[in-house]
Amino acid sequence: MAEIVTEVGMPVTFGARSHPAALEWMARRAEAFVIPLAALVVGMALFSLFILAVGKSPVQLYETMWRGGFGSWFSMQNSLSRAAPLLLAALCVALPARLGLVVIGGEGAIVLGGVAAAAAGTALDGVPSFIVILVMGVAGMAAGGIWIGAVGALRHYRAVNETISSLLMAYIAIALMNQLVEGPLRDPASLNKPSTQPLADIYRIGDMPGMEVHWGLAVGVVACVVSWVLIEKTRWGFAARIAGGNVRAAQVQGLAVGSLIVGFTGLAGGFAGLAGMLEVAAVQGSANASLAAGYGYTGILVAFLARHNPLAIIPVAFLLGGIDASGGLIQRRMDLPDATVLVLQGMLFIVILFSETFYGRFKAFNPDLWQRSN
Amino acid sequence: MDASGIGLWGVPLAILGGAIRVSTPFIFVSLGEAITERSGRINLGLEGTLVFGAMAAYAVAVITGSPWLGLVAAAFAGLCFGLFHGWICKFARVNDIAIGIALMQFGSGLAFFFGKPFIQPSAPDLPAIPLGAWSDIPQVQAALDVNVLFLIGAALAVFLWWAFRNTRAGLIVRVVGDSSDAARAMGLNPNTVRLIATGVGGALAGIGGAYLSLYYPGSWTERISSGQGLMAVALVIFARWNPLGCFAAALLFGGAGALGPALQSVGVTQGYYLFYAAPYILTLVIMIATSSPSRSLAGAPGELSITK
């Protein structure tokens, strides 16, 4: 077993430490909170300027956004329902990102996961409900996992760029869904909006006790926690982080990089596929074009805002779910286009990427520099 | 000759005509991206630039009544998006691919925001040249009704191919793309060169967008582009960063995009959605066939993150 060298060249001189260890620990951790939060504030400020420039009141806009997304128990439930697929869609970006891959085609895995789940649910009509729901979940995960796993395999074994291939695969997946939903899987009764046969009520996933938010939210939160444990606390996660830092170093260490990449992308796609299954089983009741609602694309933003940390995805998905949820109210109350929310999301995305340049630049977050200046 | 008399010959003819019509935005986006990538950066945001260019061109054409002013507006908007990408990517640890994804979403979002009032009114089209006027067959005439932008795009491809080899500017872009260190040693500032290259690339993508809304399909909707900008980026890699290759590949992709409508026009409706996916599948197959894990791509700019 080769020795792993850590903390190379730490300029720490023991004994000369003049600050409590707890303070230093907090300072190092603070950077990961302060910079993204500051970026969020700057992004919102820039968006205020944009709203001013088109002749509306930013105060009224944010007030409407608060009311539409977070201000009441009713709107909060709406936001949480939208956060559920975002959690899983964001994992589809965050897990491969740990290996240094930028996968942006989660939408395709969501769509195919939904179709596979709907097909499984209608084929098993008459079987006890818990088995059917389980099989639907497995089918959705398998469809999404194969789709994004293939992106990972192409990346590793053929050196095909994963960013472009995953988005192409998303377009192909949507075409495939349209073909299936309008052809072999079509319910003849769905006239205006071609859909698969509706699921029987006993196969639908209901709301969690005490609220009008379906169980998909709990599934998403559990998936985030499991992903965090996988990345931070297991040897596979450790290996993935090494491979993400330097593929050659990982190969020299004898890590099976190919299996890691296919495994992580497959799991990532599986989570997105599960999001599709939940949309079918808990929201739509059948697979149709509504599956391509853009959760896959908003999920990219969630993952980047959370800096690919699965635990941070939970609050960020809630925030973005709320912004999404308030879109309709902003449109009605302020006479602004429905794309207003997209503009805000785009601005936040750019600012958060720009903020990457500030990591390591501030002395306050780096106790090593406190010592050196003494 | 009767219009329906040419029967199945209508399919290759419609594909040829479709290839010329559909390929034009691909030509402009891929030539723009070729300039950007030759300088060592990749701009995935051209998809958003294409959509915003389409909206800007349409809006200006509606307001002023001139499609040419629309074209200028689209090119200018594209230039701004390109310059923004070029500027922000010069900062340390700002990833050009991620910024491209963000600009893809931001450009589309802005286009939908400002484009809402322009979905209804109709704008004047860019003119076409009837190169098929010698024939009596309407399908031939339709296929050879060639837009000026297609011809400009073809000329531009030849010019860029020549310019990369034979001009000082072409050499500077190639040096910066191959090695920042070598460029600095020559007294060049890589960031400035990339800023200009990304700006020009954005302007060309904007022109591609103007073609979409002002000629074919010829109206502004929120679904005007479905990945053309992104496919054009993949196409540049396939074309090995050679402008003439970009032109040929764009024609090929245009033909693939015209396959579905052409088959539909002769009554083949089975599998319509799968034919619609043909350009995406073709792009993917080409990427798989031309990539290799063991050797780097011939002609790839050394500083390009996507092939490193």
Contact between A346 and B106 using a beta-carbon 8 Å cutoff: yes
- Alpha-carbon distance B77 to B68, whole Å? 14
Q: Which of B103, B287, B307 to mutate to test binding with chain A, by most A CBs within 10 Å of its CB?
A: B287
Interface membership of A356 toward B (CB under 8 Å): yes
Contact between B293 and A104 using a beta-carbon 8 Å cutoff: no
The share of chain A scoring above pLDDT 90, in percent, equals: 74
Contact between A346 and B277 using a beta-carbon 8 Å cutoff: no
Cα–Cα–Cα angle for B222, B225, B231, nearest 5°? Answer: 155
- Alpha-carbon distance A306 to A315, whole Å? 9
Q: A311-337, pLDDT tens digit by residue? A: 999 999 999 999 999 999 999 999 999
Lowest mean pLDDT among A141-150, A224-233, B284-293: B284-293
Beta partners for B286?
A: none
- Alpha-carbon distance B106 to B104, whole Å? 6
Residue of A nearest to B295 (CA): A159
Q: Which carries the bigger pLDDT value, residue B11 or residue A155? A: A155
Neighbours of A59 (CB within 10 A): 10
Residues A347/B106, Cβ–Cβ less than 8 Å: yes
| Closest approach of A20 to chain B, Cα-based (Å) | 31
Contact between A342 and B283 using a beta-carbon 8 Å cutoff: no
Mean pLDDT of chain B: 89
Average pLDDT, integer, range B82-98: 94
The share of chain B scoring above pLDDT 90, in percent, equals: 57
End-to-end CA distance of chain B: 57
Q: B220-247, pLDDT tens digit by residue? A: 998 888 788 888 888 898 888 999 999 9
- From chain A, the residues in CB contact with B87 under 8 A are none
Under DSSP, the state recorded for A339 is T
- Alpha-carbon distance A135 to A114, whole Å? 12
Q: A258-310, pLDDT tens digit by residue? A: 999 999 999 999 999 999 999 999 999 999 999 999 999 999 999 999 999 99
Q: Is the pLDDT of residue A5 over 60?
A: no
Q: How many domains are there within chain B?
A: 1
How far, in Å, are B158, B256, B307 from residue B245 at the CA level? Answer: 10, 17, 18
Nearest to A349 by CA among A145, A106, A93: A93
Q: Is the pLDDT of residue B306 over 80?
A: no
* Reported pTM: 0.90
Nearest to A82 by CA among A275, A270, A274, A227: A275
Q: What single string gives the DSSP state of each residue in A244-313?
A: HH-HHHHHHTT--HHHHHHHHHHHHHHHHHHHHHHIIIIIISS-BGGG-SSHHHHHHHHHHHTTT-HHHH
Which structural domain, as residue segments, surrounds residue B288? Answer: 3-307
Whose tokens are 């780097």? That residue is B296
Q: A76-109, pLDDT tens digit by residue? A: 999 999 999 999 999 999 999 999 999 999 999 9
Interface membership of A346 toward B (CB under 8 Å): yes
Q: How confident is the model at residue B296 (pLDDT cuts 50, 70, 90)?
A: low
Contact between B88 and A159 using a beta-carbon 8 Å cutoff: no
